[in-house]
Amino acid sequence: MSGVRFFNIHRSWEDWFGMLFGLLIVISPLLAGPSEHGSGVLPDHAPAIFSAVITGLLVFCVAEMEYMALQRWEEMCEMVLGLWLIMSPLVLGYSGEGSLRFWHTSLGGVVVLMAALKLWQDWNLTDRELARHGQ
The verdict on residue 129 lying in a domain is no
The verdict on residue 28 lying in a domain is yes
Q: How many domains does the chain have?
A: 1
Angle value at C-alpha 25, between 111 and 52, nearest 5 degrees: 110
Domain span including residue 109? 2-34+43-124
CB 13 within 8 A of CB 117: no
Whole-Å CA distances, 106 to 37, 82, 86, 109, 134: 23, 10, 8, 5, 28
The verdict on residue 132 lying in a domain is no
Whole-Å CA distances, 10 to 1, 30, 77, 79, 125: 17, 32, 17, 16, 10
- Element housing 129 (H / E): helix 127-131
If you compute the radius of gyration of the chain from its CA atoms, what whole number of angstroms results?
16
pLDDT at 77 over 80: yes
CB 104 within 8 A of CB 44: no
Tell me the pTM: 0.79
The verdict on residue 74 lying in a domain is yes
pLDDT 10s digits, 26-59: 998 888 766 555 545 545 678 888 999 999 999 9
